[in-house]
Chains A and B, each alone.
Chain A
Amino acid sequence: MTISAIGITKRFGEFVALDDVTLEVAGGELTALLGPSGSGKSTLLRVIAGLEHADAGEVIISGEDATGRPARDRGVGFVFQHYAAFKHLTVRDNVAFGLSIRHRPKAEIARRVDELLHLVQLGGLAERYPSQLSGGQRQRMALARALAVEPKVLLLDEPFGALDARVRKELRGWLRRLHEEMHVTTVFVTHDQEEAMEVADRIVIMNEGRIEQIGPPRELYETPGNEFVMSFLGPVNKLGDVLVRPHDVELLLEPNGVSTEALIDRITYLGFEVRVELELPNGRKLWAQTTRESAAPLEPGRTVHVRPRATRTFDGDGAETRPAGDSPWWDRRVTMEVHHS
């Protein structure tokens, strides 16, 4: 059950939400559309679902052209950020909705609904109303409702966006396991990079109506194609045109020939992780992510020696470039105060 969205363009008045976007999703895959708000990720999902009609481009769902079809005929299960529960129906009737409008036999509906409620662990709450459920339970109900009609593809629009952090974490793992059991082709939208990396097989990074890069989480993190991807997938220090991940900033107590001096401004303890904010001799600031053990001898006001384990540089077009020239990593393209130990 594949999805192809080819050359999709969508404008809302003057605003171009999607600019000639092409995306292929393989059958059985769990894909995340990741991007900041306004990047077009939700619009792309809604175009695939038929809830929004593209100005240009076509949508093909498991080999069939769905471009002109209304949402009801696309065989798509859709889960909304704010649950979109039918408030006047019980949990059971919510889940049964798609089957009951298809006039399936009552016994079959009852069996299928029981099965799904069991799957989403709401077996005991079938006779409740949505208002009597927690947010996490409502979203699981919405998921069961979408799965009831055996959709060819499952689309989730910021499914955990309205939930608190703890429930969100719990549901992520649960969605992952559910996907492994069901193997429905799934696309979900999120603006949370951690969520995308934790749940998805493949991440599509979007920005300003375009796709920036597509790949498995690890590949995207380790070989980002441009500066946007690198900074969206995790924290970065930007020093001139050089990008360094905070966990790649090594802190040494003694100089080792390639390191440079830095003054510790501030240390923040976050449990296992410790953030060390530093100031370089040229006045630039950066921070290093380290562990509790490594940070033990450090204190604000002390001078340490800093060395990056890995840096990246992208040119104006976003392509990666190799560092050149003699100036040190932290001071490239900066002519004043070249200071090297």
Chain B
Amino acid sequence: MARPAPSQVLRRRKVRRSTWLGVGLVTLYLSVIVLIPLAAVAWHAAELGPAAIWRVVSSPDTRAALQLSLFSSLAVAAINAVVGTIIAWVLVRDTFPGKTIVNALIDLPFALPTIVAGLTLLALYGPKGALGVNLAYTRAAVMLALLFVTLPFVVRSVQPVLMELEKDVEEAASSLGAHGPTVFRRVVLPSLLPAIVSGAGLSFARAIGEFGSVVLISGNIPFKTQIAPVRIFALIESGDSAGAAALAVVLLLISFSVLLLLAFVQRWGRKGDE
């Protein structure tokens, strides 16, 4: 092997320097925006000590709220994984009048202030609901609100992957004798899975921290419809800010472990990619 030319060495060193600059800037930014606030929450909770945290978390009403949040968020993630994929499929593969408008509509739940979303849902599905269905103060209402605010995640993560999926891969499968459902299950789904999983993961994380859209329609009935973020709000209102921080840390830990788990699943699923 010949020695690299001086210009090459120079370029390599340059790349390295700019890389460090990039990493430095990203770290600084993340610290200011994310890490320091999260650390402050954790610090606030840690002042209580593990025993006190446990006492807060294991109090019956907090535990019920935590359970409701966890299970409804899991259910929301699962429903989004299926429905979001179907919506993405229809938006990419089918043509129908008004498709552009429907496509733009998908992101609106992000734009709408969540409290407005809650109000609207209450007006439509509440006691004097225009649709004649009263879901107010039930767990179904909690799910409804969570599904509303998490709709875009799976759709938006699956859509670009589906668009880039080469048609000839499906054609190859059918020329090899596969029926439509087999083609979907054995060829299309495995390609979409990483995107579905990541979209579902984001849905979960968003759902477990959601407050605004749920607070009005759920009625916040302890042991029934009170979710963990609302419980935190209740703790703050009653002056127990350390307890609130403790519960927040638990929520953060749950989200973090789910996202971490998904990252590993992604990595494992990506083994066949470039």
18 A-B pairs besides A88-B269, A89-B272, A97-B176 with CB distance below 8 A are A49-B175, A51-B175, A72-B176, A78-B172, A80-B171, A84-B168, A84-B169, A84-B171, A86-B173, A86-B190, A97-B178, A98-B176, A98-B177, A101-B176, A102-B177, A129-B272, A131-B272, A146-B176
Q: How far is the CB of A64 from chain B (nearest CB, A)?
A: 16
A82 at the B interface (CB under 8 A): yes
**In the complex, which of the residues B168, B173, B191, B273 contacts A131, with contact meaning CB atoms closer than 8 Å?**
B273
What are 13 A-B contacts with C-beta separation under 8 Å?
Answer: A72-B176, A73-B177, A78-B172, A80-B171, A84-B168, A84-B169, A86-B173, A88-B190, A89-B272, A90-B272, A101-B186, A131-B273, A146-B176
Q: What CA separation (Å) do A76 and B172 show in the bound complex?
A: 10
Structural contact, B272 and A84, CB atoms closer than 8 A: no
- B122-173 residues with Cβ-Cβ distance < 8 A to A are 166, 168-169, 171-173
B3 at the A interface (CB under 8 A): no
Closest 10 CB pairs of A and B: A98-B176, A84-B172, A84-B168, A78-B175, A88-B190, A129-B272, A88-B272, A80-B168, A87-B272, A71-B174
CB contacts (< 8 Å) of A90 on chain B: these are 272
A54 at the B interface (CB under 8 A): no
Q: What CA separation (Å) do A195 and B175 show in the bound complex?
A: 25
- B207-239 residues with Cβ-Cβ distance < 8 A to A are none
Task: Convert A55-75 into 0s and 1s, putting 1 for each residue whose CB lies closer than 8 angstroms to a CB of B.
Answer: 000000000000000111110
CB contacts (< 8 Å) of B173 on chain A: these are 86, 97
Q: How far is the CB of A43 from chain B (nearest CB, A)?
A: 14
**In the complex, which of the residues A71, A87, A97, A98 contacts B273, with contact meaning CB atoms closer than 8 Å?**
A87
Structural contact, A72 and B191, CB atoms closer than 8 A: no
A130 at the B interface (CB under 8 A): yes
A149 at the B interface (CB under 8 A): yes
**In the complex, which of the residues B178, B273, B274 contacts A72, with contact meaning CB atoms closer than 8 Å?**
B178
Structural contact, A77 and B175, CB atoms closer than 8 A: yes
B182 at the A interface (CB under 8 A): yes
A243 at the B interface (CB under 8 A): no
Task: Convert B241-274 into 0s and 1s, putting 1 for each residue whose CB lies closer than 8 angstroms to a CB of A.
Answer: 0000000000000000000000000000101111
Residue of A nearest to B187 (CB): A86
Total B residues in contact with A, Cβ cutoff 8 Å: 22
- Chain B CB within 10 A, most for which of A77, A82, A98, A146: A98
Task: Convert B168-208 into 0s and 1s, putting 1 for each residue whose CB lies closer than 8 angstroms to a CB of A.
Answer: 11011111111100100011001100000000000000000
Interface positions of A (Cβ within 8 A of B): 49-51, 70-74, 76-78, 80, 82, 84-90, 97-98, 101-102, 129-131, 142, 145-146, 148-149
CB contacts (< 8 Å) of B169 on chain A: these are 84-86
CB contacts (< 8 Å) of B190 on chain A: these are 86, 88-89
Q: What CA separation (Å) do A80 and B168 show in the bound complex?
A: 7
Structural contact, B191 and A87, CB atoms closer than 8 A: yes
Structural contact, B168 and A101, CB atoms closer than 8 A: no
Q: How far is the CB of A55 from chain B (nearest CB, A)?
A: 20
Structural contact, B273 and A76, CB atoms closer than 8 A: no
Q: What CA separation (Å) do A87 and B164 show in the bound complex?
A: 13
Structural contact, A78 and B177, CB atoms closer than 8 A: no
CB contacts (< 8 Å) of A51 on chain B: these are 171, 174-175
CB contacts (< 8 Å) of A71 on chain B: these are 171, 174-175
Structural contact, A97 and B171, CB atoms closer than 8 A: no
Q: How far is the CB of A155 from chain B (nearest CB, A)?
A: 8
Structural contact, A72 and B179, CB atoms closer than 8 A: yes
Q: What CA separation (Å) do A90 and B179 show in the bound complex?
A: 21
Q: What CA separation (Å) do A225 and B208 show in the bound complex?
A: 74
Q: How far is the CB of B191 from chain A (nearest CB, A)?
A: 6
Q: What CA separation (Å) do A77 and B151 show in the bound complex?
A: 41
Q: What CA separation (Å) do A50 and B179 show in the bound complex?
A: 13
Q: What CA separation (Å) do A101 and B177 show in the bound complex?
A: 8
Q: What CA separation (Å) do A111 and B186 show in the bound complex?
A: 22
CB contacts (< 8 Å) of A98 on chain B: these are 176-177
Q: How far is the CB of A126 from chain B (nearest CB, A)?
A: 14
Q: What CA separation (Å) do A148 and B174 show in the bound complex?
A: 14
Q: What CA separation (Å) do A228 and B175 show in the bound complex?
A: 34
Q: How far is the CB of A140 from chain B (nearest CB, A)?
A: 15
Q: How far is the CB of B29 from chain A (nearest CB, A)?
A: 33
Q: What CA separation (Å) do A335 and B171 show in the bound complex?
A: 58
Q: How far is the CB of A53 from chain B (nearest CB, A)?
A: 13
